[in-house]
Structure 1
Amino acid sequence: MTTTPAAPSDAARHAVTDDQLAELAAFGAATAYEASGLDCALDPAIRPVWKGARLVGRALPVRTHPADNLPLHHAVAQARPGDVLVVDGREELCGYWGEVLAVAAQQRGIAGLVIDGGVRDTVELEELGFAVFSRGVCVRRTGKFWPGSVGDPVTVAGVPVALGDAVVADADGVLVLPPSALAATLSASRARLDAEQEYLTRIRGGELTLDLYGFRE
């Protein structure tokens, strides 16, 4: 079966602004997760495949058949600049993605890849500076027979993902936030960061965390 998935609508991609994404990237995954109050963190087994990889962008959800990467080729063709491919790879450790697809993705302005599955060519991915977060690294080959889906809602590593959701990923983890939660998350992130800076100043002045957080009996 090689039917091309229908192209996703662009309407949902505009719910999250570039300014919001830039601020989310500055806060990072750990602060944004705590501030969100949501169960929005992917399984921590999803890790960067090279040290220092980080990304932020709008989700383009993708679903594959196990060990078949044809949907990823369709997703690259249908993506818009700033999209992050967020892929339900069925936890399959195989070479869904490598250097060729990364170069193709960069030509389309794709911000990165998050996949619940395997990838390969990790040295080349780092040299390209293309951010990839995956369940593992594996050279096993893939087929190219099943179109899967591009743009339809999926669940990836335990978290629902819809077209246009905000994605932030760094060394601490991967988050997917719905647009409706982003303004509140950013506001709470600002407050949290201000409080942490005050605490750090006081700790450097000799105070103990037991006293700062009121943990003494």
Structure 2
Amino acid sequence: MKKLLCIAILFVFCQSKIYGNSSSSNYIANANEYESSVTFPAGYAVGDYIEFLGVSPISAGASGFYQISINYTRGNVASAATHVASISHSNPTLWRETGRINNNPYVGFGTNFTVDCNTEFPNPRFRIRAINTLGTNTPITVYIKVSSINSNTAFTTLNTTGNDVTVSKFLPMTSDWDLYVGNVFSSNDASLAIKAIQNGNVGIGTAIPDEKLTVKGKIHTQEVRVDMAGR
């Protein structure tokens, strides 16, 4: 009886879903990994999105980190990227673009899709959104893998489509960030190499950067350029 129940549950998870001009198929390996694919039709427009997944962080349904990897081809040219979403307690109901930790751009100069996160408490969820229409005018299937870095209670498959060109904010990837380096074969203390804080200041060798770039120590450089371009 238990064996039949497991087979039935697995069958439900493996079903494909077709909706409108887009398709989604998925399976759940466990509560911390999820694989799926969504298909954008030929002629899709910038701003078109497919909301594909709801997540459930285990701590009060709020505190979680997720890594979302996507890859696709168009005109036999591949692109891939990995995004990170940080969902903290009582975040607002707002769609924001997630940051990338790596990017293999389409034909070397751009990407067609990004990942948005709505941090609504307690209903955080993800979508794929078109930001370019590079390449030939054919359908594109975007393959997705989501990994929960913290513990996750469950994944909920979604299949909402629409168009949104109003996204203008980024979702913070972390509150702060530290890079400690040292001899991994000894018991010596590590050194703080880089520190980034909430306001965007970055410190090299210091944990309290008071400017956009603060360096504790000497700087050896081949060239320094100073202008008012403010890029």
Instruction: Report if TM-score (shorter chain) is over 0.5.
Output: no
Q: Highest relative contact order (Cα 8 Å, sep 6+), 1 or 2?
A: 1
Greater strand proportion: 2
Give the TM-score of the pair, scaled to structure 2: 0.26
Give the TM-score of the pair, scaled to structure 1: 0.27
Greater helix proportion: 1
Which structure has the bigger radius of gyration? 2
